[in-house]
Amino acid sequence: MPRIELDLNPVTTITTDAIGKPGERVFYLQGTQGDQVVTLLVEKVQVQSLAIGAEQFLAELKEKYPDLVEPSGDYQEEPMHIHPPVDPLFRIGELGLGYDAERDLVVLVAREVVGESENAEEAGVVRFWCTRSQLKAMCQWGIVIANRGRAICPQCGEPMDPAGHFCPKKNGHQP
């Protein structure tokens, strides 16, 4: 299979979202540029880590470039949902952030996960060029989506399944 390398420069939209019931959800990262739609599979923890990393990254940019206007991060829920086609190109293994000061654009680099027997240089890469406000809004929405998962057991801190939860702290006993 040929190596995938795409640049959405700049994106029209960028978002993360999940499809499915809590406990069975699949998470996606999606960017559009005009009619081109690029969808990638992402793990919930990657969405959460990206949100934290992006906030730190934006704070570092503000320190380095104090004249930058604060990114808004405002969003409406409907446009933040992913749109068809939901046909992922690949599963994300690594995410990285960069900044082009001349254009005031952030680049989110998504690299394909590779197996042990595969060459890392053959991994697919998609670069999503976005504004700082688009990045902040995507990350804030990502936290909202991640928090819509299963309820957390107050005893053991593990997610509780709707069908029942075996809590090791209760030694199998029900309340």
* CA 106 – CA 128 distance, rounded (Å): 8
pLDDT of residue 60: 97
Q: Residue 73 region, left (φ>0) first, then alpha (ψ -120 to 50), else beta?
A: left
Query: Going from the N-terminus, what domains does the chain have, and what CATH number goes with each?
Result: 5-170 (3.30.2450)
pLDDT of residue 74: 81
pLDDT of residue 168: 75
The Cα angle at residue 29 between residues 149 and 80, in degrees rounded to 5: 75
pLDDT of residue 149: 73
Mean pLDDT by 10 residues, the chain (175 residues): 87 94 91 95 96 95 94 83 90 96 97 82 93 95 86 73 71 57
